[in-house]
Amino acid sequence: MAERWDQARVLTLAPDASSQRSARSLVNARSWITTGSADPAALWGECQGGAAAPYRTAVDLSGRPAYKCSCPSRKLPCKHALGLLLFWSAGGVPPGTPPEWVRTWLSTRAARAQDGKPAEPADPEAARRRAEQREQRVASGLDELDRWLCDQVRQGLAATPKAGYQHWDSIAARMVDAQASGLAERLRSLAAVPHSGAGWESRLLEEYAMLHLLATAFRRQSGPLDTIRSRIGFTVRQESVLADGERVLDRWQVLGRRDMEQERMRTRRVWLRSPRHGRYALVLSFAFPGESFDGALIPGTEADLELACYPDRLRALVVSNQNRARAKPPDGGTVADVLTDWAQALSQDPWLDSWPAVLNAVTPVRTPQPAVCDPAGAALPLHPAAAANWPLFALSAGNPLTVAGEWTPRGLLPLTAWDETGRAVVL
């Protein structure tokens, strides 16, 4: 059988975020009547769905992944194929002998490959129609979002704190239907804003304005189009990045990492920087609860990494990792330098919610509010979630540190600090 994939690799095959969520709900033995795996790299299963007969699902991983399912979904792969792959990734699919319907499908694919024909005949016209239909769905969803935003401003914000999660979930569900999953996630996150303390009204209006700007930019097809489409929910497959993305081979420092809970999955964000070119890169990885992340990228180290970059040139995949060693503290800047970098990044992507920050010789202080101060007396406030970051204050003991973290509109999230001996401490 083929080497088992990890969950992150499986999820890159998903056509949208809703497919990922639906597939994750199938990662259990209750959802599958039968499952099996066999050489050469074939998976199959029967999933009990809404129909009287179970859905028959098969996946061929012997080359470029191919899928077969008896469900009516037009997505490729469908949630059943993704769920089967995730179940296999988690070790839930046992070895077995393929049933007749799987053997027939595999033999048909093998015969086509032997004849020099594609296993799944390409239909450029059908692909073009699907792309056009999605563009139309997204445009229709953005029109509805604009009307909803106008209603929020017209009605005022006084009753918003009492609205409940349903207020946000309903419009987010409409964005999922419109295949704009990025907007759906952003809308769901707004439910916490009215309960985020003083000034929530301004923050909520800012979020409304940014959503309106995103809808307008997509409608006019102006600005950084790759960024706009990514924020809306148009994804780039990992295979495309590995095949066509810009390759960068350099010595990279691992600045810090941040783990986040997202529904039933955890996400790890790892920030890298090239000391030679001053370029940043972001590596994302995913894990289900109870599973471990790949620990190859350790804060405070450096390595010769080959990266394959996504179109935004910030997010990247690690292709190779060699010659890892302990790194000296990174070269950082002042508070003014961080804010200048942030302003430049916003000019390219107004919807950014975080940006890497490296500060040298800053001292954590608690008054008048938790912050880090540079030698010039300028200060960056700490994010409310980091205000009680006692390891940072204990490591400093009133002395300056080198600190790497994420700068956000609500303050700095420290991720790694280096003491006077050059020792890196993950915060």
* 27-36, 112-121, 317-326, 409-418: least confidently modelled range: 112-121
Residue 49 has pLDDT above 90, yes or no: no
Q: What is the mean predicted confidence (pLDDT) over 233-247? A: 84
**What pLDDT score was predicted for residue 121?**
47
pLDDT tens-place string over residues 113-139: 665 444 454 567 777 888 889 899 999
Asked whether the whole model's pTM tops 0.75, one would answer no
Residues 6+ apart with CB under 8 A from 395: 401, 417, 419, 425
Residue 264 has pLDDT above 90, yes or no: no
pLDDT tens-place string over residues 58-100: 998 877 788 888 887 777 788 999 999 999 988 888 888 889 9
Residue 394 has pLDDT above 90, yes or no: yes
Q: What is the mean predicted confidence (pLDDT) over 293-316? A: 89
* pLDDT above 90 coverage of the chain, percent: 46
- Average pLDDT, rounded, for the chain: 87
Q: What is the mean predicted confidence (pLDDT) over 349-364? A: 93
**What pLDDT score was predicted for residue 185?**
87
**What pLDDT score was predicted for residue 40?**
67
pLDDT tens-place string over residues 225-236: 888 998 998 888
Exposure of 53 in the CB half-sphere (CA atoms within 13 A):
7
* 96-105, 253-262, 291-300, 392-401: least confidently modelled range: 291-300
Q: Which residues of 319-349 are buried (b: 16+ CB within 10 A; e: fewer)?
A: eeeeeeeebebbebebbebbeebbeebeeeb
Alpha carbon dihedral 133, 184, 199, 385, in 10-degree steps, equals -140
Looking at the DSSP bridge assignments, the partners of residue 379 are: 373
**What pLDDT score was predicted for residue 108?**
82
Q: In the structure, what pLDDT confidence band is assigned to residue 1 with cuts at 50, 70 and 90?
A: low
**What pLDDT score was predicted for residue 114?**
62
Residues 6+ apart with CB under 8 A from 152: 160, 208
Highest mean pLDDT out of 70-79, 163-172, 259-268, 299-308: 299-308
CA R_g for the chain: 24
Q: How many CB atoms lie within 10 A of CB 5?
A: 17
**What pLDDT score was predicted for residue 113?**
64
Residue 300 has pLDDT above 90, yes or no: yes
* 12-16, 78-82, 145-149, 406-410: least confidently modelled range: 12-16
